[in-house]
A and B are shown apart, each in its own frame.
Chain A
Amino acid sequence: MQAEEAKLVALVRKGDQRAYTDLVVRHLPAIEVYAKRIVNDDTLAQDIAQDVMVVLWQRSGDFNPDKARLTTWLHRIAHNRCIDIMRKRQREVNCDASDSEYPVVESETATDLQPIDVALMRLPESQRTALVLTYYQNLSNRDVAEIMNSSVRAVESLLVRARGNLKKQLETQL
């Protein structure tokens, strides 16, 4: 799988559109869902996923198959985009909040969210990212540490806190 994807990326580098389509079809759904769980905004998440696929097309030469799996590389780009967007949004929220006497309500574009999705959104960003990457994206603790630019031990600690927080929030349903 890894070697095959490295070959496909090498073809993308040469401008092969078929290889590119193959990789996008494989990886886009996971990246889109990941971004949705992190930024909690479907339109923004789709923009992020598209951005990641543009990077795959434009800068496939930056991917080194000896250093990482393609999914890890793509998740890392998505993670950085999500962080940028959330920080930007946080700055805007802070600005708005300073002008208003009412607290700003967390934005949730999807109305049919499950209680678990709401609980996930209430987790601190780093805990949510660690949990989503490990549990939903099925990435190894080493991959998650690499994506989050952290250590395996720190990721584990985030996971323990994230699950503990979720347990508290969803106590009645457990």
Chain B
Amino acid sequence: MNPEEKTHNRALNVIAAYGAEQSAWPEEERGATLDALQSSDQLTEMLREAASLDRLLQRSARVATLDGAHLAQQIAHRVPQQLTLSQRLSRRLEVVAESLSSDAWKPALAASLTLSAGLAVGSTTYEPVEDWSQAEHYSFTVVGEEY
């Protein structure tokens, strides 16, 4: 088969599969199909037949009736998202990163620093005033008195 016959046959196939609308033809084959059409009565006749079928296909009466915005709201409110462990982790990390990039963390950090400093100072300087060295002796005394 010579290249011209090959192109002609391919053009036949393209029209038979995709119809008469050039925009429906595979992009990379549009040029070659149009060239083949110019030199072939058979292809022109085939294109005419394909165009009448296309016109019938356009008469289809199917229409969409669902309200997209309403449906989206319903789904988003009622259906929980299913995330994998890694997606959940990355979502948590993003939330932490976002909160760090905003100023909301500053009062919380100030409060926790103050508390930590208070605890640190308290634990190093505090000395108990009670003398517990006699505690054991004292407790035996109390128990002995009971029996």
- CA of A58 to CA of B24, assembled, Å: 34
0/1 interface trace, chain B 62-85, chain A, CB 8 Å (1 if under): 111110110111011001111110
Q: Is B31 an interface residue (CB 8 A)?
A: no
Query: Is B87 a contact of A17 with CB atoms below 8 Å?
Result: no
| Pick from B13, B56, B73: contact of A173, CB under 8 Å | B56
Contact B65 A32 (CB under 8 A): yes
Report the bound CA distance from A57 to B82 in whole Å.
8
Interface majority SS (helix, strand, loop, mixed), chain B = helix
Report A-chain residues with C-beta under 8 Å of the C-beta of B91: 13-15
Instruction: Give the CA-CA distance A164 to B57 in the complex, in Å.
Output: 13
Is B61 positioned at the interface, with any CB of A under 8 Å from its CB?
A: yes
- Sort chain A's interface into a size bin: 35 or more
Q: Which of A30-89 contact B (CB under 8 A)?
A: 30, 32-33, 36-37, 42, 46, 49-50, 53-54, 57-61
Chain B interface residue bracket vs A: 35 or more
- Give the A-binding residues of B (Cβ under 8 A): 13, 16-19, 24, 26, 49-50, 52-54, 56-57, 59-66, 68-69, 71-73, 75-76, 79-84, 87, 91, 94
A-B contact pairs, 27 of them (CB 8 A): A13-B81, A13-B83, A17-B72, A17-B73, A20-B75, A21-B68, A21-B72, A24-B71, A24-B72, A28-B66, A32-B64, A50-B66, A50-B71, A57-B76, A57-B79, A61-B83, A61-B84, A61-B87, A112-B61, A114-B60, A115-B56, A156-B13, A159-B16, A163-B16, A163-B17, A164-B16, A174-B56
